Amino acid sequence: MNALYLAFAYLRYHWARSLVMVLVAALILFVPVATQILLSTSERTLTARADATPLILGTKGSQLDLTMAALYFSEERPDTVPMREVEAIWDSGFGTPIPVHTAFSSGGFRIVGTTLDYFDFRGLTFAQGRGLAVLGEAVLGANVAGALGKKPGDVMVSAPENLFDLDGVYPLEMPITGVLAPTNTADDDAIFVDIKTAWVIQGIGHGHADVVTASDVAAGLDVTANAAIVEYQRITPDNIESFHFHGAQDDYPATAVIVVPNDTRAGTILRGRYLDPDARTQLFEPSSVVQGLVDRIFRIKTLLDVVTAIIAIAALAAVGLAMFLGYRLRAGEIATAVKLGARRGMVFRLLAAETVTLLLLSGVIAAAGAAVVSSNAETWVGWLLALGA
Amino acid sequence: MGEGENLTFAYPSGGFTLRVPALSLAPGERLAIVGPSGSGKTTLLNLIAGILQPEACRIDVAGTDVTALSDADRRRFRARQVGFVFQNFALLDYLPARQNILYPYRISPGLRLNAEAHARAEALAKASGIGDKLDRHPGALSQGEQQRVAICRALVTEPKLVLSDEATGNLDPESKLRVLDLLFERAEDAGAGVLAVTHDHELLPRFDRVIDFAEFRVGQPV
């Protein structure tokens, strides 16, 4: 007890030095543990979402780009796949195709055009409001609603793609009907709309004021030539009937298609149909793509571990040196203690008590930090993955 | 109170040998040791306190033959029976004055820190004029006040012998007289003898007896 009393008195009196040593030692303990927690959570999160997505259909090209776009709504823009491929999956009867259109954004968050099957497939639930019902509506992921301060009843406006593209993408105002419960996945950072709404943003579908038709002319109506047709930038109950699409729906684009086969056999048959090397499309398991990515990351992690270990050894040596020099500075105190009759080993016990106290405090701080990281790892990893998207 | 016979000590590295045929100190006596630097004055204090072991002799302090004790017993004996006052005070900067006085109780297994020890520390500090400064750290005390704390530390265990190694060497002329008087008063109150090493010949009249190590080195009994 006396050794602990003296050790604590020494550390308290030299609080600045003690604080630095405690913090340095805590960091040495904390950093590898926190890195390990975050990396393993990242691996789990990445692979979990990929494992939960049986197959992805897309155009030939980078499977990683397709996976990142379809699963994490990243900025990658693989060549689009026509909707006839979706119909082909429906027609096969082997599974459910869920098209995903991720070309646009609003407020810095990705607009994901999809079908209602997506919400069932991901098991998404609503924290507020309701799901998509009519053209033009939007549902927000939990992080989007939090970051933008939006709620059901508010509106979102899609970001224009190019101000100088007169034939291109115009902003569309979309009423928000619901906010999803948080899932700590990329869904939290997405704005969901019906895929038809995404096509309206793209300019494939649109609504405008009535134009004069040939029958009107034949009926003898007074016709005045006018090039200024009012095109709607918001979809309302009054103008929704005027919205229409041009061209064949089979040609409409999707970024990728998530395919949920009815069973393993159906999945195998479906994959077999896309093995033709001349085909424009491919069907693959995203889990193997993500696993390859994770394996690569973790090979780099091994290098990171070595660097961390070297830095930790250097930092420990520095702390050890600081403690040794501290003890050297206290040689006079030690000599006095011996002269006053200190028991054999008392000096060692005193120094050991100080070291143990320092390490204990460092350990408590590091453990508290690790506990905070551990309890928030999924949220932070979701945020980090979204940052990279 | 204390006596030694045929004290002989040599450091393993050689070059210095101390030989004292006889040395005695009566109870309550104030004995000063003077002599040139390197003549073995501090070595003598360390031999009496049992910090160093002589080659061959008997050192009796308060009825205990120090040379016959084991290392652990010598440490225990030193903590109980010997008080030390050092030239540089040797106070711990991280402890307040009160805890510096009680420091021997924190490091020695032979001493028990209890209410009596606390009361004794308070009484000594009060008698030494630092009763209101017990919660100050050494850095906040003057040199004279620091040496008073050191004297209180030397006497708080009620030793039979106080060994003073140039205790007033760092003090100004006025302070050193006051501190020496204080040391004598407190030692007298405690019934302890004082064996002091000093270079300061002005202080010698205040001692009962003086040993000049220059004489002592020729081997005469003292």
Phi, psi of B81 (to 5 degrees): -105, -15
Residue with the bigger pLDDT between A92 and A184: it is: A92
Helix pair B173-190, B143-155: axis angle to 10 deg: 20
* DSSP characters over A254-303: ESEEEEEESSHHHHHHHHHHT--TT-SEEEE-HHHHHHHHHHHHHHHHHH
Calculate mean pLDDT across residues A187-215: 78
Interface test with B, best of A5, A14, A330, A336 (most B CBs within 10 A): A336
pLDDT tens-digit series, residues A331-350: 888 888 888 888 777 777 88
Contacts of A66 (CB under 8 A, 6+ apart): A56, A58, A59, A76, A78, A256
Name the range with the highest mean pLDDT among A63-67, A215-219, A248-252, B187-191.
A63-67
Tell me the pLDDT band of A172, cut-offs 50, 70 and 90: confident
Every domain of chain B and the residues it spans: 2-91+158-216
Q: Which residues pair with A95 in a beta bridge?
A: A261
Q: For chains A and B, count residue pairs whose Cβ atoms are closer than 8 Å.
A: 67
pLDDT tens-digit series, residues B179-201: 888 888 888 888 889 999 988 88
C-alpha to C-alpha distances, B176 to B166, B194, B202, nearest whole angstrom: 10, 16, 10
Q: Which of B77, B95, B104 sits opposite A340 (nearest CB)?
A: B104
Distance, in Å, from the CA atom of B123 to the CA atom of B117, rounded to the nearest integer, reads 10
This prediction has a pTM of 0.62
Distance from CA of A32 to the nearest CA of B (A): 35
CATH of B2-91+158-216, one of 1.10.8.60, 2.60.120.10, 3.40.50.300, 2.40.50.140: 3.40.50.300
Which residues of chain B have a CB within 8 Å of the CB of A9?
A: 94-95, 99
B137: nearest CA in chain A? A13
Question: With an 8 Å Cβ cutoff, is B89 touching chain A?
Answer: no
* Structural contact between residues A351 and A5, judged by C-beta atoms closer than 8 angstroms: no
CB contact under 8 A, B72 and A344: yes
* pLDDT for residue B120: 92
C-alpha to C-alpha distances, A217 to A116, A208, A212, A220, A221, nearest whole angstrom: 42, 20, 7, 5, 6
* pLDDT for residue B219: 43
* pLDDT for residue A121: 94
Nearest alpha carbon to residue B20 among B12, B11, B9, B29: B9
Distance, in Å, from the CA atom of A320 to the CA atom of A324, rounded to the nearest integer, reads 6
Calculate mean pLDDT across residues A110-119: 93
The residue assigned the tokens 């902003």 is A171
Give pairs for A330-338: CB < 8 Å, separation 24+. Answer: A332/B88, A332/B90, A333/B90, A333/B92, A335/B90, A336/B86, A336/B90, A336/B92, A337/B107, A338/B51
A345: nearest CA in chain B? B107
The terminus-to-terminus CA distance of chain B in angstroms comes to: 15
Write the secondary structure of A96-164 as one string of H (helix), E (strand) and C (coil). EEEEEEEEEEECCEEEEEECCHHHHHHCCCEEEECCCCCCCCEEECHHHHHHHCCCECEEEECCCCCCC
Tokens for A320, please give them: 């050890």
Tokens for A230, please give them: 């009012």
* Structural contact between residues B61 and B74, judged by C-beta atoms closer than 8 angstroms: no
**pLDDT over 60 at A242, yes or no:** yes
Question: With an 8 Å Cβ cutoff, is B11 touching chain A?
Answer: no
Alpha carbon A72 to its chain's center: 6
Question: With an 8 Å Cβ cutoff, is B68 touching chain A?
Answer: no
Every domain of chain A and the residues it spans: 2-46+295-387, 58-284
Q: Which residues pair with B5 in a beta bridge?
A: B22, B58
pLDDT tens-digit series, residues B93-144: 999 999 999 999 998 877 889 999 999 999 989 988 899 999 999 999 998 8
Calculate mean pLDDT across residues A357-373: 93
* pLDDT for residue B220: 43
| Interface predicted TM-score of the whole assembly (ipTM), two decimals | 0.83
Residue with the bigger pLDDT between A34 and A172: it is: A34
Distance from CA of A7 to the nearest CA of B (A): 10
Tokens for A381, please give them: 């990893």
CB contact under 8 A, A2 and B75: no
Question: With an 8 Å Cβ cutoff, is A15 touching chain B?
Answer: no
Residue with the bigger pLDDT between A263 and A163: it is: A263
* pLDDT for residue A25: 87
Residue with the bigger pLDDT between B216 and B57: it is: B57
Chain B, 143 to 172: residues with Cβ < 8 Å from chain A are: 153
Q: Which residues pair with A388 in a beta bridge?
A: none
* pLDDT for residue A218: 65
What single letter denotes the amino acid at residue A134?
V
